[in-house]
């Protein structure tokens, strides 16, 4: 059994480590010119984990694609370019698993849609999402994650391979609900970090109550099952995203309101823009996402934004879920 990972950053390196732990032949790929990847090839470690010597690291894409399963873990906004490259290869004997959470900026499209638009020919296309941080998993802290695919047999095949006592695997066929849910939880994570930075963490309960409601409305408008938002793809990921010190999106929100810099990618930043684009096409209001975007772009001050979100009339707080 051969597993390859395309993109070997924080989350990608975890997939390398975990696939090796599962006993598979593992290859990791990034394009030539990546400084962090050169360091990973040299040291076999990064700030999160240490890779076993059995893992092959390469800049040769064709070599990496010789696999039974390919896990993709590149930034969401870089994925279309990679999908175009993948379309030149015959992957009909390979399960392609998207292991990042985001929507394409501008179009608001889900990453599986991008994959199909670029003509990627794979045995199956699925997404591996859900709560967890490499820092916890490598210490042996167990978690539950989700594989979603329109092909339930493929999802079963992947969860059967990858499930363990460390990562309990579940599956779903609702690509729309789970992909949007997984992407949008990062935006809610930024909002949670803003509350932390303003010493208003007590409002996280209200944020957790309202966040899934606006995402569920968007999922329903896009044709997905709104109930998926209340599973591992979104609400089930709140502890890892809204509270964990390892959450980059929460950390970004906190740093933003404190006027500090935060290293590393916070995927919720471009996703917030993509969500508003998608919501505009379907006529859905996203109050939390809109305020987060306003703050990022400095169109509104923080106290006014908090007032808009949490000091609205009571009758609006308890409006029907999908009204």
Q: Report which secondary-structure segment, H or E, holds 28.
A: strand 25-29
Which segments within 173-219 are labelled E, that is strand?
Answer: none
42 assigned to active site: no
CA distance 182 to 77: 15
Which is the catalytic residue, given 2, 42, 109, 185? 185
d(CA 183, CA 33): 28
DSSP state letter for 185: H
Round to whole Å and give the CA distance between 88 and 312: 52
Do 131 and 239 meet the contact criterion of CB atoms below 8 Å apart? Answer: yes
What distance in Å separates the CA atoms of residue 200 and residue 205, rounded to the nearest whole number?
A: 11
Cβ(210)–Cβ(158) below 8 Å: no
**Catalytic machinery residues:** 185
């Amino acid at each position: 059994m051969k597993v390859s990972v395309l993109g070997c950053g924080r989350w990608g390196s975890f997939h390398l480590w975990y696939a090796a732990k599962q006993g598979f032949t593992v290859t990791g790929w990034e394009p030539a010119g990546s400084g962090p990847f050169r360091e990973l090839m040299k040291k076999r470690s990064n700030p999160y984990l240490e890779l076993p010597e059995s893992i092959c690291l390469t800049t040769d894409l064709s070599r990496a694609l010789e696999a039974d399963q390919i896990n993709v873990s590149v930034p969401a906004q870089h994925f279309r370019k990679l999908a175009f490259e993948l379309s030149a290869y015959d992957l009909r004997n390979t399960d392609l698993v998207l292991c990042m959470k985001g929507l394409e900026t501008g179009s608001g499209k889900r990453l599986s849609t991008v994959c199909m638009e670029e003509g990627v020919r794979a045995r199956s296309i699925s997404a591996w999402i859900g709560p967890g941080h490499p820092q916890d998993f490598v210490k042996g802290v167990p978690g539950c994650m989700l594989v979603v695919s329109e092909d339930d047999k493929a999802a079963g095949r992947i969860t059967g391979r990858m499930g363990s006592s460390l990562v309990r695997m579940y599956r779903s066929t609702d690509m729309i609900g789970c992909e949007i849910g997984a992407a949008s939880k990062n935006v809610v994570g930024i909002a949670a970090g803003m509350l932390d930075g303003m010493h208003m963490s007590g409002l996280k309960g209200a944020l957790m109550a309202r966040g899934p409601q606006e995402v569920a409305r968007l999922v329903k408008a896009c044709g997905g099952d709104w109930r998926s938002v209340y599973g591992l793809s979104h609400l089930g990921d709140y502890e890892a995203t809204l509270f964990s010190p390892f959450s980059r999106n929460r950390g970004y929100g906190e740093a933003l309101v404190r006027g500090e810099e935060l290293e590393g990618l916070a995927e919720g930043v471009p996703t917030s823009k993509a969500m508003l684009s998608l919501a505009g096409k379907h006529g859905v209001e996203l109050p939390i996402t809109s305020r987060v975007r306003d703050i990022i772009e400095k169109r509104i001050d923080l106290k006014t934004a908090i007032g808009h979100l949490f000091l609205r009339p009571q009758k609006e707080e308890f409006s029907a879920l999908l009204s």
